[in-house]
Amino acid sequence: MSVTIANLGFPRIGPNRELKFALESFWGGRSSEAELKETAASLRRETWLKQKNLGIDYIPSNDFSFYDHVLDTTVMLGAVPERYGFKGGKVDLATYFAMARGTTSAENSVTAMEMTKWFDTNYHYMVPELVKGQKFSLASTKALDLYNEAKAAGVETRPVVLGPVTWLSLAKGRDVDPFDYLDDVLAIYTEVLTSLAKAGAKWVQIDEPAFVLDLNDKQRAAFKKAYDVLSKTGVSLMLTTYFGRVAENIDLLTSLPVAGIHVDLIRGSDDYDALLTKVRPDTVLSLGVIDGRNIWRADLDALVDWIEPLAEKRDLVLAPSCSLLHVPVDLKAEKKIDPEITQWLAFAQQKLEELAVLKTALTKGRNEVAEELAASTKAAKNRRSSPRIHNEAVAKRLAAVTPDMAKRQSPYPVRAAAQQAKLNLPLYPTTTIGSFPQTSEVRQARAKNRRGELDNAGYTQFLREQTAATIRWQEEIGLDVLVHGEFERNDMVQYFGEQLDGFAFTNNGWVQSYGSRCVRPPILFGDVTRPKAMTVDWWSFSQQQSEKPVKGMLTGPVTILNWSFVRNDQPRSVSCRQLALAIRDEVVDLEAAGAKIIQIDEAALREGLPLRRAEWQTYLDWAVESFRLTASGVRDDTQIHSHMCYSEFNDILPSIAAMDADALSIETARSQMELLQAFASYQYPNQIGPGVYDIHSPRIPSVEEMVNLLRLARKYLPADRLWVNPDCGLKTRRWEEVKPSLLAMVAAAKEMRAEEKAK
């Protein structure tokens, strides 16, 4: 029986973010379209040749994208929203980037398409928009072009396309059900697949991650129809699922007339037995055995043990669980991670090397790769026992956590009274979410300090001046609760990760977040401890500048967890609790230093929700418990705030309420306070700060519009439970925008107070 190896997609950004820089230079008018295309072509060529040299049997093409693969699919289908003025034919690069980013030229200013998170990853895609009477046409031949381009470079590839059912599932219809367009969409897919078959492609990888979601009848019917139609196009389809278990969708999956099926055996290992009995013997089975979502090295010898018996029975393809888009490119570029930790890691390049070793071991025998297998085993062993990872004190502390530790001393009404007696805040107290503009001056000072051009004393002095000036300004304009501005923080997660034990940081571990935007997630590899206080000095300095309360400002455990690469040798819930205990210590230290209000941001709590509804509650339970454990070490009269972005809370309100934050600021400006309806009907008991203006846009809001929003809010909630604040932190804005906006916001609050008095 044969064993072959496949890759499902390689990071597009390039080993040193070449694509990012080429894009930004093109957008900035500093380089031509031809130069951008040249950079892209050479990155693709390098990537193909690299995979060929590694002996990958199925090398992907069309995994490349200038911005996003969902947008590429939308463009392929010609489903270009009217505002971009598409007139038929092929979509050009200018239109493509207008869809991705909007345009701001004087004569022609259009908004970008909406962007949201791709399944439960931190990658963002452009949401397809469909309207009544939507037209479709083949408006991009990129899949074919790139297949031919690879062929010309001497590399036979397996083109990747996003499948029609997933694309329709991600689409938003305006007064129309996207699935009404299934036939139109299938007609274009048929054209694309037929053209690939004609060009000589034997296989096409058709990605349908929707298979790991809860499917409705419409989606199921669409899967049946789609693959009946597409299986007749002359190519063999590798129907590719990932990001989780197929679970109850397995009968549907295995009934489809496709030549191959790929499943994610990292997250979907529970499907394994069912797969073996249900996948027809003549269907090629592709097993995602290397983790495409995380950066840990595999235990190859153990994998061989596991795969060997199966490989004797049927033909197998081995692959990463999903596209490698979600991991950094190459571990070799890392200079500062400790060697002991480095040996536990594998980035995209290393993951493909692991596949090559697996193939050799299974086809030619383990002896052929004895050295590689031994190194892998040694690393796995080391990781199981390393004192860097396993800290007995942490285990003991975790075991000693009692339910009471996750409960405030008194219920909210008692706390609220004690806090008000101490804080004496007016109605509609005004505050901000934490950060103030990260100007180029601030970023430059940080960069200089990092490069050693500005010594620590000089840098601290600079930050103190920024902070003090920001506090002074907040006092001047009459904000009630101040923040220090977060100038000392590079990133709200990294800043804490760097001060906690159990985290490692890369120097080049970039992963695409959206478009040209990349992030470098911290690596949570071991038991978490807090060697010393992390924010108390900055908070104390700030509070010394003012009589008004300055909020202590922390990132919560769930958010730190969700924005990091997390160890896979224990449940995420356990890592989260370790983080909770560490941040709890910080909360207690801030209180001891005199902080009357402490904000614990949980920006990413909602986005951590599992893909399957049935798994939501378990996640929410431990996530909320971790937040409460973090927040509950303080006295009644210490006020705990939390902040969350992406506030689609309607379906998780009981959990939001269970967090029991004294005050919660949320994003509501863009939805016209719509969300508050749900808070009102749920009778959310604590204080809320509904964002009164959108910080994602440079627009300066008027007093009037904020008063109107607050009046709406007042309809739903009593005045003494409302705060006045922007939607989110101000770090991405400029002072020229922040100053007039906050001045107007304070004026709006005053107007509301006057109105309340007059009642």
Enumerate the active-site residues.
Answer: 696
CA separation for the pair 385, 390 (Å, rounded): 7
Q: By CB under 6 A, which span of 121-129, 150-158, 429-437, 529-537 interacts with ligand GLN?
A: 429-437
How buried is 602 (Cβ within 10 angstroms: 0-12 exposed, 13-18 middle, 19+ buried)?
A: buried
CA separation for the pair 358, 4 (Å, rounded): 10
Question: The tokens 């031509």 sit on which residue?
Answer: 32
Residue numbering of the annotated binding site for L-methionine: 433-435, 486, 601
Is residue 201 part of the contact set for ligand GLN (CB under 6 A)? no
- We find the least distance from the C-beta atom of residue 691 to ligand GLN, in angstroms, to be 11
- The correct pick among 121, 435, 564, 655 for binding ligand GLN (CB under 6 A) is 435
Give the rounded distance of the alpha carbon of 462 from its chain centre. Answer: 32
Q: By CB under 5 A, which span of 119-127, 321-329, 546-554, 644-652 interacts with Zn ion?
A: 644-652
Q: Tell me which amino acid residue 216 is.
A: N
Is residue 483 part of the contact set for Zn ion (CB under 5 A)? no
Q: Which does 463 bind (CB under 5 to 8 A by kind): Zn ion, ligand GLN, none?
A: none
How buried is 363 (Cβ within 10 angstroms: 0-12 exposed, 13-18 middle, 19+ buried)?
A: middle
Q: Which does 329 bind (CB under 5 to 8 A by kind): ligand GLN, Zn ion, none?
A: none
Is residue 643 part of the contact set for ligand GLN (CB under 6 A)? yes
For residues 571 to 610, the per-residue mask of contacts with Zn ion, x marking binding by CB under 5 A and - elsewhere, is --------------------------------x-------
Residue numbering of the annotated binding site for 5-methyltetrahydropteroyltri-L-glutamate: 17-20, 117, 122, 517-518, 563, 607
CA separation for the pair 622, 644 (Å, rounded): 17
CA separation for the pair 266, 383 (Å, rounded): 19
Residue (of 518, 506, 119, 30) closest to 322 by Cα position: 119
Is residue 728 part of the contact set for ligand GLN (CB under 6 A)? yes
Question: The tokens 């345009």 sit on which residue?
Answer: 103
Q: Which does 207 bind (CB under 5 to 8 A by kind): ligand GLN, Zn ion, none?
A: none
Q: Which does 162 bind (CB under 5 to 8 A by kind): ligand GLN, Zn ion, none?
A: none
671: left (phi over 0), alpha (psi -120 to 50) or beta: alpha
> Edge to edge, what strands does the sheet with 501-504 contain?
501-504, 523-529, 565-566
Q: Tell me which amino acid residue 182 is.
A: L
| β-bridge mates for residue 261, sequence order | 239, 285
- The correct pick among 587, 645, 659, 707 for binding Zn ion (CB under 5 A) is 645
CA separation for the pair 138, 491 (Å, rounded): 42
CB atoms within 10 A of CB 643: 28
Q: By CB under 6 A, which span of 199-207, 297-305, 428-436, 570-578 interacts with ligand GLN?
A: 428-436
Please say whether the beta carbons of 628 and 407 come within 8 A.
yes
CA separation for the pair 212, 612 (Å, rounded): 8
- We find the least distance from the C-beta atom of residue 698 to ligand GLN, in angstroms, to be 17
CA separation for the pair 159, 31 (Å, rounded): 29
Residue closer to ligand GLN, measured from CB, 5 or 483: 483
DSSP code, position 336: S
- We find the least distance from the C-beta atom of residue 601 to ligand GLN, in angstroms, to be 5
For residues 476 to 495, the per-residue mask of contacts with ligand GLN, x marking binding by CB under 6 A and - elsewhere, is ----------x-----x---
Q: Which does 435 bind (CB under 5 to 8 A by kind): ligand GLN, Zn ion, none?
A: ligand GLN
Is residue 327 part of the contact set for Zn ion (CB under 5 A)? no
3-state secondary structure of 503: strand
Site residues (CB under 6 A) for ligand GLN, limited to 490-529: 492
3-state secondary structure of 414: helix
Residue numbering of the annotated binding site for L-homocysteine: 433-435, 486, 601
- The correct pick among 15, 268, 434, 608 for binding ligand GLN (CB under 6 A) is 434
Site residues (CB under 5 A) for Zn ion, limited to 698-757: 728
CB proximity list for 96: less than 8 A, separation 6 or greater: 66, 67, 71, 75
Q: Tell me which amino acid residue 124 is.
A: H
- The correct pick among 161, 253, 261, 603 for binding ligand GLN (CB under 6 A) is 603
Q: Which does 361 bind (CB under 5 to 8 A by kind): ligand GLN, Zn ion, none?
A: none
In which element (H, E) is residue 553 found? strand 552-555
Please say whether the beta carbons of 49 and 156 come within 8 A.
no
Q: Which does 641 bind (CB under 5 to 8 A by kind): Zn ion, ligand GLN, none?
A: none
Is residue 320 part of the contact set for ligand GLN (CB under 6 A)? no
- The correct pick among 645, 676, 706, 707 for binding ligand GLN (CB under 6 A) is 645
Residue 680 token pair: 């009102």
Q: Which does 492 bind (CB under 5 to 8 A by kind): Zn ion, ligand GLN, none?
A: ligand GLN
- The correct pick among 149, 601, 625, 637 for binding ligand GLN (CB under 6 A) is 601
Is residue 664 part of the contact set for Zn ion (CB under 5 A)? no
Is residue 433 part of the contact set for ligand GLN (CB under 6 A)? yes
Residue numbering of the annotated binding site: 17-20, 117, 122, 433-435, 486, 517-518, 563, 601, 607, 643, 645, 667, 728
Is residue 731 part of the contact set for ligand GLN (CB under 6 A)? yes
CA separation for the pair 66, 23 (Å, rounded): 8
Q: Tell whether the torsion through CA atoms of 15, 19, 20 and 22 is positive or negative.
A: positive
Task: Point out which residues bind ligand GLN (CB under 6 A).
Answer: 433-435, 486, 492, 553, 601, 603, 643, 645, 728-729, 731
* Interface residues toward Zn ion, by CB under 5 A: 603, 645, 728
